[in-house]
Amino acid sequence: MNRISGFDKLAHELNEAQRAINSVDEELGTVSFNPNDAASIEAAIQQVELIVDERLSAYSSNPIIGPLMIGLKEKYREGIIERAAAARLEEGHE
């Protein structure tokens, strides 16, 4: 039976990417901020970007991880901004 060698490499890259993403997700639970303080929100965004860089830079040779790092940073940035806005709205209704 013949094996296609490219699939082994792709499977390895995908597994490596999954481990890297999991390590980022675990660390992100520790990020907190004050939704009423722009500096606190920006500090949280910077902290998230640092976590992504620290956790994923070891996998930078993986062709899946590089573009993924950029996407994750943007996703988490938007998530922090949305959570801050939702918290401010909630406080306004109380």
pLDDT at position 93 = 66
pLDDT at position 5 = 62
How long, in residues, is the chain? Answer: 94
Q: How far apart are the first and last CA of the chain?
A: 67
Across the 94 residues of the chain, what is the mean pLDDT of every consecutive 10-residue run? 67 82 74 95 95 84 83 91 94 73
Backbone angles phi, psi at 3, to 5 degrees: -110, 145
Query: Residue holding tokens 């929100």?
Result: 41
pLDDT at position 38 = 97
Asked if residues 70 and 39 have their Cβ atoms less than 8 Å apart, the reply is no
Distances from the Cα of 34 to the Cα of 6, 37, 69, 87, 90, angstroms? 47, 5, 25, 9, 13
Domain boundaries, the chain: 5-93
